[in-house]
Amino acid sequence: MTTTTTTPPQVRPQTAPAEIPEVPLTTEGYSVLHQMMRFRWTAWRALSDATRSSIAQEAATVLGEMEQGSPKQGSAGQSALFSLIGHKGDLMLVHFRNSFAELNQAELKLTSLRLSEYFEPTSSYLSIIELGLYDSTLKIYKELIAQGIQPHSEQWKAEIECKLARHREAMHPRLFPEIPPNRYICFYPMDRKRGEDKNWYTLPIEERARQMSDHGLVGRRYAGEVKQIITGSIGFDDWEWGVDLFADDPLVFKKLIYEMRFDHVSAVYALFGQFYIGVRCPAASLEKLLSGELPK
């Protein structure tokens, strides 16, 4: 009697579906520095009229070049001066540049001015203009996974970079904007909660994308009244984002921020830092400002 041995069919191992990464994609533009400072008014007023005028004119010339993004500064980007309202400082300088190194050059340029002897820094904020891409992120991730591309592989990274490069090109005006010319600025830093009870970073990416989409609808309703520039600062400063709002009527800051606090992502997950409100002072009007008269 012959015994036949049969070989069991080969079972192909099941590959678990790739998980969608949790980190949303971003594109970045100008590096940004806010400098807040007090002015030593008592020491300034002790100077003669001629000395004050000479110092102010020197500073106005340099700030005027920085304000226009002059090639003499060796970089693209601009700077803007604001007269702060309240006790948190007297002046705020906002710089947009191509790199952190160029921001440092802007700082050093200011320290070379005789006027800098009357500056007392109170705070600063370092960040970079950032566009968050929650909706695009999910679409891109799902497309790549459907093509069988493994997350975080070299091919995955190359495909992501290719798509981000196209987005950077399309969004260049938003990533590298001029500093809006509006009369008023509102700047504040903010975080997303990371506590034991509420933690933004433990939510699934799909839920974060949905909440951010709803959040964005509020801001778009104010598009004709206020210009908003969001900067990312994770790893650069003490908060996670900076927000700059520019408008000709400061009341819109209150209305926009108040309304946003009623949407879910702000009501549950947002933490806010100090608010700074300033009035734009063109460089050409610096001497007038330092004489105690804010230009109209």
Q: How far apart are CA 96 and CA 221, in angstroms?
A: 26
Q: How far apart are CA 83 and CA 279, in angstroms?
A: 5
Q: Are 89 and 276 spatial neighbours (Cβ–Cβ below 8 Å)?
A: yes
CA angle (18 as vertex; 15, 22 as ends), nearest 5: 160
Q: How far apart are CA 215 and CA 218, in angstroms?
A: 6
Tokens of 102: 């160029």
What is the chain's Cα-based Rg? 25
Q: Are 231 and 127 spatial neighbours (Cβ–Cβ below 8 Å)?
A: yes
Tokens of 81: 């001066």
- What residue type is assigned to position 95 of the chain? H
For 94, phi then psi, to 5°, come to -115, 125
Q: Which helix (H) or strand (E) holds 97?
A: strand 91-97
> Which residues contact residue 157 at a Cβ distance below 8 angstroms, ignoring those fewer than 6 apart?
none
- Is residue 188 part of the annotated active site? The answer reads yes
For 254, phi then psi, to 5°, come to -60, -45
Which residue is catalytic, options 30, 118, 188, 222? 188
List residues with catalytic annotation.
Answer: 188
